[in-house]
Structure 1
Amino acid sequence: MHSIDQNVVRLGWVSYFTDLASAMVNPILPIFVITVLHEGMDKLGVIVAVATFVSYALRMVSGYIADYYGVVKPLVVGGYLFSALSKPLLGFSHGWGSIAALRALERVGKGVRSAPKDLMIASYARENAHGKTFGFHKTMDIAGEFSGTLLLFGLLWYFGDSEGVIRTLFFATLIPGLIGLVIVIFFVRDIPKSVRCTERFRLSSADKKTVLQLLFYFLFLFFIFSEAFFTVQAKTVGIATALIPLLFAVSTGVQTLTSYLFGLGSDRFGSGAVNAFGYGCGIVAQALLWLQMPAATWAAFAFLGLFTVATLNANRAMIAQQAENRGSVYGIFYAAVALFAAAGAAFGGWLWEQFGMQTALDVALGGTLAVSVLYGLKKGLRG
């Protein structure tokens, strides 16, 4: 990994601390909404949908600005600023509406920074090493989540899982958030003007082909359960609240160990092969939840981690290798991810609330299977 540019390494540390803070929120927020605020699964679905959907336009806009105007680092810094300040404010929330608004604000930060950040990573990657570079960055990203989940578990185990403890944990996320913000402001270099794309935004034929290849990924995200739903399912089958962070540790630990390897795999075998493996893991994760057994749920989080890291690394590397207006295509990518995942969360939450968890699981498993079969048929016809 000595060939990784230092700018990418520093961005990795920014992601490490930002995701450490996120990991102190994400595992317990669904439990907080359901058991502390006494809201229903439909409300949780709306929170997930709003948080995911709200940033979709910003992802396209920020990608366009990065390509056309050459404004990259200011967007990245602004995005991390929103994230650092929004998570601690969750500690003041007393209803699902304020939770949804603050999660939306945090996602605004994600939307503003995502495409420009990936453009920076792609620009600093060495020839024929895009998969490896994105794999390294994702390793740092997930290592932060892994550290945060272990820290959260230790704090919940020692202090308990009362409402006061949970709110204090939300406040405490300000510390790692500010550390990441300092690093990106003072230690991450902007992209030199010589590597910025300054042409007027037009999707080329290569860009359009790349976007079409991503359609199966977007559909898969619509059907597969979000992490929040995985969490509530775990609570439903009897896993204690204090142990919920360890489920996330399983997922993030798997991602940390495999991210760099999947990046190398994308470079060597192609993104299509890595994507196919990722879809298989997503199906297994959903099928394990369908069994509704505590042991199966633990395994489901591991396979969810494999799905997440394999498909995300493969698709980010594919964009870097095939697209011409990479900042804009990254913006479209993240916009579509947000749109499809948000619609899926709202639909899944409604199914769960109206017809029960088993129906929601049936639809999720059937949908992911159907998308994977279509993906396999398309690859087979092309091959």
Structure 2
Amino acid sequence: MTETAMRRERVLRQIPSGIWALGFVSLLMDVSSEMIHGLLPVYLVGVMGASALAVGAIEGVAESTALITRIFSGVLSDWLGKRKLLAALGYGLAAASKPIFPLANSLGWVVAARFIDRIGKGVRGAPRDALIADIAPEKLRGASFGLRQALDTVGAFLGPGLAVLLMLASRNDFRLVFWWAVLPAVLSTALIVFAVREPKVARAKGAARFPLRPSELRRLGTRFWIVAAIAAVFSLARFSEAFLILRARSDGLGEAYAPLVLVVMNLVYALSAYPAGALSDRLGRRGVFLAGIALLIAADLTLAAAGTLVWVAAGLVLWGLHMGFTQGLLSALVADTAPADLRGTGFGALNLVTGVAALAASLIAGALWDRVGPQATFGASAALALLSLIGVGLGARALKAP
């Protein structure tokens, strides 16, 4: 065994059991969600007759709802000191939404199910991330967020893989696949309720005051708000993965195989998230984040120029790498810069600004796709990613771990 492998194994053994449990909670919920979401763009366009702009609007509203909701759940988790309760409630809402997808007989019901599912994601997101920050030792913060993200992403490629197998076995029965997705969602909710313990966190004097007070928000500090600003610009470049599926479909990928787009992208994401987080613990956040933005630009340029499924696959690999190098890292940066008793608010605030950006990104992507084509969609993403690259250079001090 190499020295690097031995060091990685030692770090994994030091990560608390609560982080592992939360990782498997995320894994199971992502299996459920991605079984549905890997088919949903094709289902909306091919079965329900929706346009690419409509898909962009649905995905943008859904994802931004999830992100914007996090500001309120994050604030409540700081105010009440009950992170696990809110996280479990969010997972429960998402599980409750899953049976609506196979029962839906109109576009409106699908939109409602997607909306409830993303509200659940929003409710659980900030409290769960703050809970991870509370549990994780400071020296293992990047590795802990990377591990949780990696396990989450294992679910994100297992789900579409199962969807492909079920679609082939059932001769493209979308509703049957949607029914199977209910089971892992229920298991995920049960796991967080029974397997995760919430640690006690020291609360500063006055911390029980409502965290959205201006005085409390100022306590988040300049470094945190620089991180939030960089993340907002970066999120403008990161539209919904639904457009990755539509890109593969435009180059000839069959309906039953559409979820393979998410399998490829999330497999690479899962394999890179933990090493990237651990690397940021040792070498610093800035360099790893810069590499992630560069990978996004490369992915956009590859997907813009793609004319065959081979080139689409190359773009998906690069997209998955950029996710692995950036998503867990942004969470670690919030934990680095926000006070311990305001971490829920910090995660919520970050997701508020990125949620607005995510909505704009998907609407812009859908409009460009319908009016110009996929090349314009991915070209605009590359340009916005370049702006965030410049922002990282200007905000370099905020990206240094304490």
**Contact kept in structure 2, 1:131 and 1:314, CA below 8 Å:** yes
1:25 to 24, 36, 48: 36
Q: 1:311 aligns with which of 326, 351, 363?
A: 326
2:369 equivalent among 333, 336, 352 = 352
State the 1:196 CA deviation: 5.2
Paired residues of 1:225 and 1:286 also in contact (CA < 8 A): no
Q: 1:240 aligns with which of 240, 254, 258?
A: 254
**Which whole-Å deviations, capped at 9, do the CAs of 1:227-267 have from their partners, x for residues lacking one?**
00111111011112222222211111112211111111111
Task: Give unmatched runs, 5+ long, in structure 2.
Answer: 1-11
**Secondary structure in 1 aligned to 2:138?**
coil
User: Which runs of 5 or more structure 1 residues have no equivalent in the other structure?
Assistant: none
| CA shift digits 1:127-170 (9 cap, x unpaired) | 31100111111121111112222212222233332xxx111111
Mean CA deviation greater in 336-345 or 114-123: 336-345
1:336 aligns with 2:353: yes
Q: Which amino acid aligns with 2:192?
A: V
Tell me, in whole angstroms, the C-alpha distance in 2 between the residues paired with 1:295 and 1:319: 37
Task: Please identify, of 199-208 and 301-310, the stretch whose mean Cα deviation from structure 2 is larger.
Answer: 199-208
Residue 265 of structure 2 contacts residue 320 of structure 2 at CA under 8 Å; is this kept in 1? yes
- Residue of 106, 120, 145 corresponding to 1:95: 106
Which residue number in structure 1 is paired with residue 129 of structure 2? 118
In structure 2, C-alpha distance between the alignment counterparts of 1:222 and 1:233, rounded to whole Å:
19
Q: Within 5 Å, which residues of 2 pair with 1:2-21?
A: 2-21=13-32
Alignment of 1:252-263 (within 5 A): 252-263=266-277
Cα RMSD for the two superposed structures: 2.1
Alignment partners' CA distance in 1, 2:69 and 2:391: 31
What is the TM-score when the length of structure 1 is the normalising length?
A: 0.93
Query: 2:54 & 2:306 partners in 1: Cα distance?
Result: 23
The residue aligned with 2:141 is: 130
Match of 2:381 among 342, 356, 364: 364
Partner of 1:49: 60
Q: Which runs of 4+ in 1 moved over 3 A?
A: 194-199, 204-208, 373-380
Structure 2 CA distance, aligned partners of 1:183 and 1:352? Answer: 40
Structure-2 residue corresponding to 1:321: 336
Q: Distance in 2 between matches of 1:216 and 1:178?
A: 36
- Out of 219, 225, 232, which is 1:211 matched to? 225
Q: Tell me the CA shift for residue 81 of structure 1.
A: 0.6
Give the corresponding residue for 2:7. Answer: none
Name the counterpart of 1:272: 286
Q: Does 1:81 align with 2:96?
A: no
Secondary structure at 2:37 match in 1: coil
CA contact (8 A) 1:47 1:96 kept: no
1:228 aligns to 2:242 (yes or no): yes
Question: 1:289 and 1:94 mapped to 2: Cα distance?
Answer: 34
2:285 is aligned with 1:285: no
Q: Aligned in 2, Cα 1:207/1:167: closer, same or farther, shift over 3 Å?
A: farther
1:68 matches 2:79: yes
Structure 1 pair 57–298 and aligned structure 2 pair: CA distance change class (3 A): closer
Aligned to 2:118: 107
Separation (CA, whole Å) in 2 of partners of 1:341 and 1:225: 6
TM-score scaled by structure 2? 0.89
Moved more, 319-328 or 54-63: 54-63
Q: 1:159 & 1:301 partners in 2: Cα distance?
A: 27
Letter in 1 for 2:320: G
3-state secondary structure, aligned to 2:175: helix
| Number of equivalent positions | 379
Identity value in percent: 28
